[in-house]
Chain A
Amino acid sequence: MPVKNEFDVIVIGGGITGAGTARDCAMRGLKVLLIERNDIATGATGRNHGLLHSGARYAVKDSESAEECIRENKILREIASNCVEDTGGLFITLPEDEESGYGLDYQSKFLEACTKAGIEARAISPKEAIEMEPSVNPALIGAVVVPDGSVDPFRLCAANVTDAAMHGAKVLVYTEFLDFLREGDTILGVKVLDTRTGQKAEYRAPVTVNAAGIWGHGVAEKAGVHIGMYPAKGALLVFGHRVNNVVINRCRKSADGDILVPGDSVTVIGTTSTKVPFEECDHMEVTPDEVRLLLREGCALCPALADTRILRAYAGVRPLVADDSDPTGRSISRGIVCLDHETRDGLKGFVSITGGKLMTYRLMAELATDTVCRKLGVNKTCNTAHTPLPGSMDGRIETVSKRFEGGATAGQKGAAGRQGDLVGKIRFESEEDRKLICECENVTLAEIKYAVRELGVRNLGDLRRRTRVGMGTCQGTFCIRKAAKALAEALGQPELADKLAADYLDERWKGMRAVGWGDTLREMEFMQRVYKSGKPYSYDEV
């Protein structure tokens, strides 16, 4: 029976790599199917610092990665202005670094390597560093300024998915990859499961791209090929407010807890690096030892962290390609691995794109799409480096906020910061719509309705990733019932509200438990007290 290919390419994985690949393929005119078993950005994409690397971190050891980073750094500032914040970064040297061989001699070496990699770096005095970032450890003996920034990975991923869809890609979230359709040495497509309806389906395309991050290991196994992947867990802590406004790094060999990134309304310290078994990748929990370590190292960068409320802890898994010689996983290059399994393993119609990092997702997507095009015999050049993402045509909050007549409200400014120039699609029509649902993060009912209508939201976690609803100080205690009601109604299933809210709070609880002391513990007690009785207040009141 002749099989008609519905798609030119199927991309497995709705993280940043898959989203970028789907966008690039779609922009080059291919018919694309993107499948993701959860929501977009639920794996490593949404579980990192959100650091817009300058590449300086890699300059000394891995100049190739450093050069990639700074190139992509400049590109992302252009194409993703709505997702990027130009905070600048510092690499500081502390007195104790002298003893461990990473003193000011190393700083010179570091500066030289940065310059060689094309990273604009200059040394400043400790006094200048304190002026630039008052929260920095005042004991520092040297500092280097680099073009670091912060990037919102949820937004970046969503923008790529949206643009892919705008270029004709079909996007199926909550659709789990089950197996390949295969004939001899050729991959013909995929069998998938809609995790919400339980329905199975098959999709065919001449090329399938494995962009499933750490889960790509298992995807490749299903195809009968082996990629030696290395799941390296990285834990992070989120502080209650922006303690710093400039990224602070330690100027030494990369180690645990040596990057402090301000992003939106919070500051994030990370990370750790621990090898974990594949079975654990779906159930990451941050351990007390990890919290202790992150706090200790974080305080060396910024002593104020010792007295700052921690909102929650989380962990992600880096999809590193294993190098058996180093057990810590730090010394291997975060290089991009793009495998055409036809040349590598003799398996036709299958490509894997892995390794790399958030910063280089676009380049990874370009390499993967080049490979796909070569296999399909399509000759189209990549334009993703020059085409702004949706929301980022002129995505800076200062510009977007001016659109509102008579001055933007807090909710409108919040939306402008998150949705960039797509904010025009949010309907701030009635007074009700302009009301804030989440007061910690300035999220209005209008923005929630917009997210449900246009950004494919199914549950409150999806909504959180697109709007920051419930990500603030109270972690959803005061907004989540209102948000659940709005979402359930928008989905046309008002009876779902309670379950949506409960699922969300369970997930928040998990992240708070790891740092459950002081004011976070009070907040947890408060949350529990509010919800213990089942129904804290009736929906008629919200």
Chain B
Amino acid sequence: MQERNISANNFEQCQKCSICETVCPVMANNPAYAGPKRSGPDGERYRLKNGIFFEDSLKYCLNCKRCEVACPSGVRVADLIQQARIDYGRKLPKLRDTMLASTDQVGPLASAFAPIANFSLGLAPVKGVMHLALGVDRHRTLPKYASETFVRWFKKNAEDKQAQYSKHISYYHGCYANYNYPQLGKDFVAVMNAFGYGVHLIEGERCCGVAKIANGMIEAATRDARTNVDLFRESVKAGREIVTVSTTCTMTLLEEYPTLLKVGNDQVRDHIHLVERFLWKAIASGEVKPVWKEDWKARAAYHCPCHQERLGLGIFTMELMKMIPGMELTELESNCCGIAGTYGFKKENYKVSQAIGKPLFDDIAAAAPEFVVCECETCKWQIEMSTGVPVKNPVSILADALDLDKTAILNKPTK
């Protein structure tokens, strides 16, 4: 009679089993948060009756999406919560939130004045002012800005060398690799080139929008999303798959564009690849062949970021890392680090953020690795600040562990 049941974000599929509550890192640490079931599918039924049922406590949701991973009924719990914040929580974002969220507007400015910006952002008095006036917690150091962006470096040093390769991909670098950590981008280019892929920028790529979504700047995020999808489509038309390095950017492009921003990505979805899976598949299928440095050795621990869990891609990073002969890898228990993008930077969230991360920090201390392997940049800040253990991106590890020259020779197409 009825063949299917569809409702916004599947909220009617909720059986009220409450499994999501058992995995919510916030619920366990902040009694003011009602939890995913009540904030999501339960709350939705009453919000549909009257917006008065929207609760301010929805702002405590990290959007880690662990509830969605746990849900046996396929309810997009976190999307429901983000959607409610978009629909009912309409207040002008604070100056701080705008600042934290506008990674692609603050980025170019800060990069231009990087030495001054980095120096002053690190000063105790500046931190104090930011804590009090802006609500950025004083314990946090805002990510440093690079004086030369990745894009500028690429254009100067790498762009004209890309045509020589026979395979080509488009690289969605995101804001972090561009403004804060160009080395990641450089490592990416080195690894891809070694495997015989020409790397191309997506001219005009915009921020994925995740920070804007989290901070209520929906119009801006939607504009960016439309631009990105159009650019991806052009890339696909030109025969270039899109490869990404940031977990959260990837989740936003794949999952949140259609659900939260209502920007359809059907035509490009299957062409967007997170680099770890892309490379694991290429190596495992024999399409590319790695040559590892013989003396490379490391004892590391893998932390799977929440959004990597949501995408179900952590396994590829693990397997890719295990391909490195000198790698001794422990997998850390799946736990949220507590930073959740801009969330942990806000002073009202600092305590909860650290409490959420504690089990992970304890695990890292017990494993005592040389470094932590992690794909996510914000997890990196949180783990490094909280444990003192360095965090390395898998791409940078490959760039280090591969004998790039020999790999390049081996993967050169024979004509």
Contact = CB atoms under 8 A, between A and B. Distances in A.
B40 to A, nearest CB: 11
A262 B17 CA distance: 26
A307 interface: yes
A308 B16 contact: no
A472 B5 contact: no
Interface in B5-59: 5-7, 11-18, 34, 37-38, 41-46, 48-50, 52-53, 55-56
B1 interface: yes
A291 B1 CA distance: 9
B2 interface: yes
Contacts of A477: 16
A410 B15 contact: no
Nearest to B39: A410
Interface of B: 1-7, 11-18, 34, 37-38, 41-46, 48-50, 52-53, 55-56, 73
A517 B48 contact: no
B59 to A, nearest CB: 14
B52 A472 contact: no
Given A292-B1, A310-B2, A401 B45 contact: no
Interface string A277-318: 000000000000001100100000000001111100000000
Contact of B5 (A245, A292, A295, A519): A519
Contacts of A245: 48
B49 A264 contact: yes
A181 interface: no
Given A241-B45, A241-B48, A242-B45, A526 B12 contact: no
A308 B12 contact: yes
A432 interface: no
Contacts of A413: 46, 52-53
A282 B14 CA distance: 33
A120 interface: no
User: Which A-B residue pairs are the 4 nearest by beta carbons?
Assistant: A474-B16, A242-B48, A265-B45, A307-B6
Interface in A463-484: 472-474, 477-478
B215 to A, nearest CB: 22
A519 B13 contact: yes
A414 interface: yes
A497 B356 CA distance: 38
B2 A522 contact: no
13 contacts: A241-B12, A265-B49, A309-B5, A398-B52, A410-B34, A413-B52, A436-B38, A440-B16, A442-B53, A473-B12, A517-B1, A518-B5, A519-B15
Given A397-B52, A439-B38, A440-B42, A523 B15 contact: yes
Contact of A410 (B7, B13, B14, B38): B38
Given A264-B49, A413-B52, A439 B1 contact: no
Contacts of A310: 2
A417 B73 CA distance: 30
A153 B34 CA distance: 31
Nearest to B45: A265
Contacts of B17: 526
A50 interface: no
Given A241-B48, A410-B34, A473 B4 contact: no
A432 to B, nearest CB: 14
A408 B191 CA distance: 56
A507 B139 CA distance: 57
Contacts of B34: 410
B164 to A, nearest CB: 53
Nearest to B11: A241
B255 to A, nearest CB: 22
A410 B12 contact: no
Nearest to A530: B17
Contacts of B46: 265, 410, 413-414, 442
A407 interface: yes
A240 interface: yes
A526 B73 CA distance: 12
B55 A410 contact: yes
Interface of A: 240-242, 245, 262, 264-265, 291-292, 295, 306-310, 397-398, 401, 407, 410, 413-414, 417, 436, 439-440, 442, 472-474, 477-478, 517-519, 522-523, 526
A52 B154 CA distance: 68
Given A413-B46, A413-B53, A473-B12, 18 more contacts: A240-B45, A241-B7, A241-B44, A241-B45, A242-B48, A245-B48, A295-B2, A306-B2, A308-B5, A308-B7, A309-B5, A309-B13, A413-B52, A439-B16, A472-B42, A472-B45, A478-B16, A517-B1
A12 B159 CA distance: 90
Nearest to A401: B52
Contacts of B5: 307-309, 518-519
A133 to B, nearest CB: 13
A522 B15 contact: yes
B16 to A, nearest CB: 4
Contact of A473 (B2, B14, B53): B14
A481 B2 CA distance: 31
A519 B41 CA distance: 14
Given A306-B2, A410-B55, A440-B42, A478 B48 contact: no
A57 B5 CA distance: 31
A98 B42 CA distance: 41
Contacts of A478: 16, 18
A537 to B, nearest CB: 13
B45 A440 contact: yes
B280 to A, nearest CB: 36
A178 B73 CA distance: 51
B71 to A, nearest CB: 13
Nearest to B37: A439
Contacts of A262: 49
Nearest to A311: B12
B55 to A, nearest CB: 6
Contacts of B16: 439-440, 472-474, 477-478
Nearest to A307: B6
A257 to B, nearest CB: 14
Nearest to A440: B42
A417 B50 CA distance: 10
Contacts of A240: 7, 12, 45
A245 B1 CA distance: 25
Contacts of B2: 295, 306-308, 310, 517-518
A358 B256 CA distance: 46
B262 to A, nearest CB: 14
Nearest to A523: B15
Contacts of A472: 16, 42, 45
Interface centre among A241, A242, A295, A414 (most CB of B within 10 A): A241
A120 B383 CA distance: 65
Nearest to A292: B1
Nearest to B14: A473
Contact of A307 (B4, B15, B43): B4
Chain B CB within 10 Å, residue with most, of A397, A414, A518, A523: A518
Contacts of B11: 241
Nearest to A306: B2
B294 to A, nearest CB: 56
Nearest to B55: A410
A305 to B, nearest CB: 8
A397 B7 contact: no
